[in-house]
Structure formats: C-alpha cells, structure tokens
Amino acid sequence: MKPNDDSATAESHPSAGRDPDGDRSPHCSANCGCCGHDDEAHDHGDREHGSSRAESISLIVSGILVGAALALHWSRLPAAIVGGISAAAMAAGGWFLVPKAGRAIRRLRPDINLLVVVAAVGASAIGEWVEAATVVFLFGVAEWLEGWADRRARRAVEALLEIAPKHATVRRDDQFVEVPVEEVQVGDVFAVKSGMSIPLDGEVVAGASAVNQAPITGESVPVDKRQGDTVFAGAVNGEGSLEVRVTKTAGDTTLAKIIRLVKEAQEQKAPTQRFVDVFARYYTPIVTGIALLIFLVPPLLFGGDWSDWLYRACVLLIIACPCALVISTPVSIVAGLTALARRGVLVKGGAHLEAIARLDALALDKTGTITEGRPTVQGVEIVGPISEADILRLAAAIDAHSSHPLARAVVEHAHRRGVAFPRALDYQNRSGRGAQGFIDGHAYFVGNHRFTHELGVCSEDIERRLAAIETRGQSVIVVGHRPHDDCAGGVLGIIAVGDTVRENAVQAIRALHAAGVRKVAMLSGDNQRTAAFIAQQVGIDEVRGDLLPEEKVAAVKSLRAQHAVVGMVGDGVNDAPAMATATVGIAMGVAGTDAAIETADIALMKDDLDKIAETVRLGRRTLAIIRFNITFSLGLKLLFLALTLVGFASLWLAILADTGATLLVVANALRLLRPGTTCVPRT
C-alpha cells in the first residue's frame, strides 16, 4: 500500500540516551537543536539505551557535592570553600558537557549542552558557584530522565520477546528432546505441556486446549485450539496438551514480526514530531542571540550593571533549553504505539497513529468485517430444466477454483449434500462479477446480479427472483449457460447465500461514532439491496453496493473529498487499492498473515470490530497528551522568559522549572502504557 517512512532500528548504547559520540538523546532527531548532533553521527551510529556506570556514578557524586555546597553556603562558611566544592560538583556532573559544547561552537549550531556550559561559566564568573553547580547537576538529572523515559516505553515492547520460550520440546526419532528454538525447522513437531508458553508458530496436529494468545491478538479470553488450528509463539497453553507442527522458524514468527514492525514504527517521525524538531532547530539559536543582547545592550547603552545582566542572560539560556518540548512528542508516540501493540494492534508509525487520531470518516468492507465472513447456502431456486443437485454440481465445479467466501460456501454445501463435481476447465475469474469455465464441454458461469446483466441473461422473472432474495439481506449466485458460439445462454438456477452479522457489529459502530468518527460507510461488492439491509441492521450511515474494486477506490476518493482523514478497513489483499487510497488503511484479523501485516498501515491481529474504535480512542488520547505537553512546555518557557526580563527569575527557578517540565511531560506520556487508559472525551 503506502510506502513506509525510512527508519532505522534502534539498539542500546551505554550512555543514558546519547549516541556513540555522546551527542544524542534517544528521542532526539537530526538538526532538532536540542542535543547538538549531526547527520553523520545519526547515520553511522546505532543508538543504545541505558546509563553507563561511569555517568550514573558521576551524577551521584555531583548530587552529594551539590548538597554539601548548599549546606556549607547556608552555614555562612568562607566563599572559597563553597566555591571549591561547587567546582568539584560541576566537574563530576558535567565532564561530558564541555566536549559537546566545543563541537556545537565549531558547527555554529548552539545546542542545549552549550547553553548549560555558558550559563554555568557565567554564574561562576559573578560568584554564584552553588547555583552554577546546581544547574549542571539538575541538567544531568533531566538528561537521565529523558533516557529513562525512552527506555521505559521501548522495553515494554521488547519484553514481548521474553514471553516466547528459548527452547522447544521437539520430536526426534520418536522421542521428544529439548532443543534451542533457533535449531527448529519448518515441519518439525513440538510438544506443549499445560501452562507452558508456545515457542513457535505452528498448526496443531494432536490434542486440544484453550490457549491465551493475548500477546498476539489482544484477546482477553483464551481461544479453544484443536487439530488443524493455528497457534502463535508467545501464546500460553491452558490445561490441555498439544502437539504442533512448525510453520515458521524463530525469526519469522508472528511475534517476531510484531516486535520488528513496532521497533521500526517507533523510529518513524510523526508530523507533530517533525514540526517540533524544526521549531527547536530555530528556537534555540534565536533565544541564544536574545540572551547575548540582554547581556550587552543594557550595560553598554543604559549603564546597567554587568553582573546583574550577565546573571539574567544566564537565566535566559537555561530557560531556552527545549528539553521538555523536544521529548514531548516522541515519548508519547512510542508509548502510544506500544500500548496498541499490547492490545493486538500494529500501527506502522507515528504518522499513521496521528492519522487515526484525526479520523473523520471510516469505510468498511462488508464480508468479513461487518459480517462473520462465513456465509452459508440458504436455499437453491431452480429456473431451468435441471435438478437442485445439478445446479450445485455446476456451481461447485467452477467455485472449486476460488477462495472467495461465497465460493467456499457453495463448495462446502455441495460436499455436505454429497454432490460429486468435477473441476471446471478453462477457469476464468471475472473480478467483482463471478467466474466462468467449461464443464462436460459446455460453457457455464456463476456470478452476481451485475454479471447476469452484462451477459444479457437477466429476464423480468429472474429480476423478480433476485430482488426477493436480496431484500432478505442474502447474496445471490446465479448459475447458468454462458453465451458462447451458437449458445444464447440462460439462467439455470439461483443459489441464495446468507452471512451472519457479527454479534458486536452494532456496538462497534456505536463505539466508532462515540469516539468521534463522523461518518461510517460500508463499501461492498454485493448488491445494493443486500448491502443496505445489512447496513440498516448495524446502524451504518452510508452504504454503497455493487462496487467493483476500482469503484471502491472511487468511493474512497469521494469520501476524502468530503472529509479530511478517511480510513478504509479491509482484508489487506482484495481491498488493497481502496486501502491505499484512504488516508489510513486498516486490515482486520491478520494474525499469522504476513502479506496483510505488511500491506496495511494499521493491522488488527484479531478479527474484532471493537479494536477499531479502541485504536481511534487511544490515538486521540495520544494526540491530546502530545498537545498538552507541547502547550505546557512552551507556556512555561514564555512565563519564565517574561520573569527573566523583569528580574524575578533566578537560575534556581529556571533549572527547576526545566527539569520539572521534563519530568511532567515524561510522566504524562507514560500514562499511555497503563492498561485500560483508552477513553478520551469526544471533541
């Protein structure tokens, strides 16, 4: 469908959110103006999360020395002693800042490291040693907090890796032996005892049990598994015992794919994040220039006190540090993506998460989305001089070539009725219409209402029969002779096929409206009467039937002309063109289906309509948190800028406000990782 943004997989580096050159916070992006890294460092260095032992010890030592300096300062001890301890505190807590500040000067790109160094040097120059040491220490704490927040959000997904066992009990020469999962091959059979986690994807060949597959699909209720059913790595077996044939190796399991995709998604930038990066890139040097003017202009032009205005300039430099602003978006995006992954929803990046949060209209396919997707034959009407068994024989002979749900229903019904049938020759699929082929040397067709008109075999009698079936909400499969050579063609029979509306469909559509989706439309290849009957049952706003694949694309374009953000829900394969046309394409029930997972912008692992509304709600909640964090960060900066200009702000307040803002936006973003936090008021 849509090409994914370029991304790089992040790994860990022992430096509290800095790159191998020591320049980069894990949440920061190239040229953001926050941490001062260059594109070359971004390209060649993989990022790592975690604090190096040396830097952690440095912060602890710096904190102890700052506390001692404060105590001595309040005890009115000589300034030389206080200054010496403060200088030691700055050296312990900021030894990594000076090289970075030097690089920022060489690049002519002021960054947060340079701002802190200049502020600390300026405060020391006017004798405010304790404040200078406090600035350096609290900046180190803020950096550690940012790195911790990023690690916390990312490890929530990486923890999924730990739920799949590292060994499997595999059958070898009629005996079961334990081997590493990496050595297990496709086709091997492994055993799963009760209460154990399933090590690899596979198909049950013996046994029966209820399996908890919440890590994969987000389902809270265990699912019964028996012979022929699919199980996933990471799912937990219940009371029964299973034997499973491996269908995917360790690196290709659905769980491994989920983790890979979520990691890639975390590296992609959302529109809001790109805006913040650009803003910070220009914001920091502008405020640095303002600080220089504040230091120089009042003393030079108005006779102001140099020490007083240097102090105010230092305060302004600390205020300019955009830590909270820059971290506000990426940590929220990572937390939102992780929270959805835990619920069995894969979102391919922050851009798609923001899109689903702004969703105005949603188009749904009918079969398999609104309905169960398991239609059954409800009846057979004879039109020509032929028996019901013969109609089933002809239809099944052609439909045996197709995987369409309606075709499968006909074939299964023929089997249940004991009707033997050959496979039609020269089979041809007519997309969105039906199919045709040769049986016993004669040309036959099976198809929908539209196909009968195109073939010229729909009479008034056939029209009445079809209308009566369609009014009942059933689909029609017309069986007949195809016009061919000297044969005029004609209808031999009509098969009525009915699909069951999902139990939660009505509730799911209501939930979508409650989540703020203004219009829910159903796009179906089925006839208009059947589609309208189903839509009326579940409360859908708009229904369009008789649509070919290209007409579904046109319908989505029409919705996009009316609404800013449009989603399309389908199976990820047949509806791919319409899903690609939508702002965001959503595939349902794709657990274990590699093609659908790769195709969609958002993939719902479980075939559950409720997950769509849940995704919209959590997306809106994520966007609301991002907006609050940005507004709060900017508002706090503006407040302290004003206080600095009138002389009411100090270095103490500036650094405490900056660190406090960072801590608040981090805590606010990480609320998304709490279970059950998806509700957000409709706006």
Name the residues annotated as catalytic: 365
User: Residue 286 CB: number of other CB atoms within 10 A?
Assistant: 12
The backbone region for 514, taken as left when phi is positive above 0, alpha when psi lies in -120 to 50, beta otherwise, is alpha
Phi, psi for residue 434 in degrees, rounded to 5? 160, -145
Closest CA to 223 of 206, 207, 236: 236
Residues facing 177 on adjacent strands: 170
Distance CA 432, CA 552 (A): 11
> In what order do the strands lie in the sheet containing 345-347?
345-347, 602-604, 584-588, 566-570, 361-365, 519-523, 542-544
Q: Residue-wise over 653-663: b if at least 16 C-beta within 10 A, else e?
A: bbbebbbebbb
Burial category of 6 from C-beta neighbours within 10 Å (exposed 0-12, middle 13-18, buried 19 and up): exposed
Q: Which residues pair with 365 in a beta bridge?
A: 523
Give the separation between CA 543 and CA 531, rounded to whole angstroms.
Answer: 7
CB-based contact 331:323 (threshold 8 Å): no
Q: List strand residue ranges (DSSP E) for 472-583, in order.
A: 475-481, 490-498, 519-523, 542-544, 566-570
Cα(426)–Cα(432) distance, rounded to whole angstroms? 19
Residue 380 phi/psi, 5° resolution?
-130, 125
Collapsed DSSP state (helix, strand, coil) of residue 256: helix
- Tokens 């274990």 found at: 592
The three-class DSSP label of residue 359 is coil
484 beta partners: 487
Q: Is 171 helix (H, G, I), strand (E, B) or coil?
A: strand
The C-alpha torsion from 567 through 569 and 570 to 571, rounded to 10°, is 110
**Tokens of residue 237, six digits:** 């077996």
- Label residue 520 exposed, middle or buried (CB < 10 Å: 0-12, 13-18, 19+): buried
Place of tokens 């900021």: 94
Contact between 71 and 79 (Cβ < 8 Å): no
Residue among 345, 403, 391 at smallest CA distance from 611 = 345
For residue 484, count other CB atoms closer than 10 A to its CB.
14
Residues 237, 208 contacting (CB under 8 angstroms): no
